[in-house]
Structure 1
Amino acid sequence: MTQLVISDVSKRYGAIAALDRVSLAVEAGRRVAIVGPSGSGKTTLLRVIAGFEAPDAGTVVLDGQVLADGPAIAPAHRRRIGYVAQDGALFPHLDVAGNVGFGIPRNEPDRAARLRELMELVELDPAMLERRPHELSGGQQQRVALARALARKPALMLLDEPFSALDTGLRESVRQAVARVLAKAGITTILVTHDQGEALSFADQLAVMREGRLVQTGRPAELYWRPADVETALFLGNAVLFEAEIAEGSVSCGLGEFEAETGGRRGAGTIMLRPEQFLLSPVGPGHEAFIENVAFRGAQCTVTLRTNHGGGGIRFTAQVSSMDRPQIGQTVFVSVKGEPFLLPGSR
């Protein structure tokens, strides 16, 4: 069932079009990540959904309730929407119980039991209810902020880059915990982030924005392997692009000829391969290449290669396990796992 429907939403700040006729449908229970570079309009879209901003045109409908119809909007506090900001925005003068219970009436029966239930839901010890925000770690503060948002039993949860201030290792664990909590609660969620890896791992639906427009939506794996254009391909991860000649069911580039879905197109085009698709072998099969550089990155290495190192050749990068890293100056044979993707619009 479609729960949130955004239709042709536009928003301008003077001469700048922050949102340009954005439309997005979100099904109940989904986790959606809106990703894009700075200035793409993703935060403005989240603020329009939350009710912090009024669109110039377009509609926002949640569970059949019209939240915005152009500048006419329902107040934010009447939208049944939870909101978690980047820094958690906890009240420093209140303890955890005061923060989590901020939206729960003081005279509500079993209020104390409800607070304990919310703490357990976000995987925190109820004993922390007596602590102040400054006595919590960054990850604990974000979970308290989530519990506070969940206390109002929202129909929709909005997360505005809630993990960006956390250390890398902590960010991963907190993100996984938040995903578990929201899945258990069955709450539809929209995450705004500029971190591509975070968006790909958190969401079951991905929306890419650029210059105020929604460029592509779909499942994360679909967008990663079949991007709508070059910009999206490069934004969602490392990509190796080759100019190629298109034939029926195949493409030819500097690494050879490969089977590919061409959609009946012929002539010149651009193909995309992800660095992890390259397989390197000291004995073949594949196309001969020379190792120019190896960058160690922990579990994996980024390898820079050049074909035909005695002449011009082509330079590209591959991603391999650190256990299999080659040596600089070594000659290897490069083969490709899977098919290259022919980018739309290339001719």
Structure 2
Amino acid sequence: MGGGQGWFPQRGCHICRAGESGIAPHSPWTDCAHGAALRTAAASGSGAAAAAATVAGAAAGRQVCSLSSQCVPQCMVSLMGNQIDRITHLNYSELPTGDPSGIEKDELRVGVAYFFSDDEDELDERAPPPEKIWREPGPPKDSTAAAVLLLGELEYSAFCCQECIFSKLGGSQDLSAYPVSALLPRCRAGDLLELVRGGGQPAHWVVYVGASRVIHLQGREIREEHLAQVSAGRAGRIVNTWYRYRALPPDLVVHNARGHVGLQGHEICWTNSESFAAWCRFGKREFKAGGEAGGDGRLQESRYLLKLHLPDSRVHTLNFPSLEDLIREKRRQDAGGKVGVLKELSVLNQK
């Protein structure tokens, strides 16, 4: 192990202060019990030898200070500081000490010095407490038992300039609907929900904002109400992935919805509940009435395509100049279901 240059620079022993200026000429190894311990420890490289050297030095009559119980551990840290970063679990027993009162006596006091590692107690201060780490909840165990079977639903997809922006296809998506009691445990703030209606009425879309409450466009007013009150016994489902746009963060979705609660009549720039809910989640102006016009105020014809997927792999395609017009027609077709679309197409084919 390395030599002693620089361990006690010009001020003598840092334990008993022997060798300080004005007391006696000094070298890095002081002429005290501590210096003897250091010389022996440096030669042998062991803590036990250092302790033995201290005992021998005391027996020979050299000065032993009242802090001798700290001498060997501290000096060994100094000696080994350039070799290792830290000494842990270093245990010394039966180290000689002087009388705490400062009066030297013939007998020696026995003390113990310890170095304990705090590795087990060190925690990453940047990591949040375990109870504050959010984890994605899994689906309820009875996820299929509560599903409501919907018959005769129309499936469709929508495109803008040949890019798919919407799809509702049973072959590749989960179209299961649930009663409110089974739907609520699945909902998270910022989700889009579709409440299925019957009797030729289009589905109603709402934004879930937490605590079993939703915000939606009803008639010509934007309201915040309890989901059970809005559903009125109808089944519902989460439709976050039907539109292919990139969603906003959930807190911003909720902020968008709550920022418009109470608007009525001409203050509202959406024509239906789906457009409002989708705007809250995706923030695209195309969902607003008149948000599609170009710089010259004109719309591009056939920019949007709505494809109705019919039995026997048939597809009926409709063209629209704006997303607002596409959604309006989609909701009208959706209210009639497959049967209504087939009847309408048969009438057109006969003409």
What range describes the TM-score normalised by the shorter chain of this pair?
under 0.3
Structure richer in strand, relative to its length:
1
Structure richer in helix, relative to its length:
2
Q: Which has the larger radius of gyration?
A: 2
Q: Which structure is higher in RCO with an 8 Å CA cutoff and minimum separation 6?
A: 1
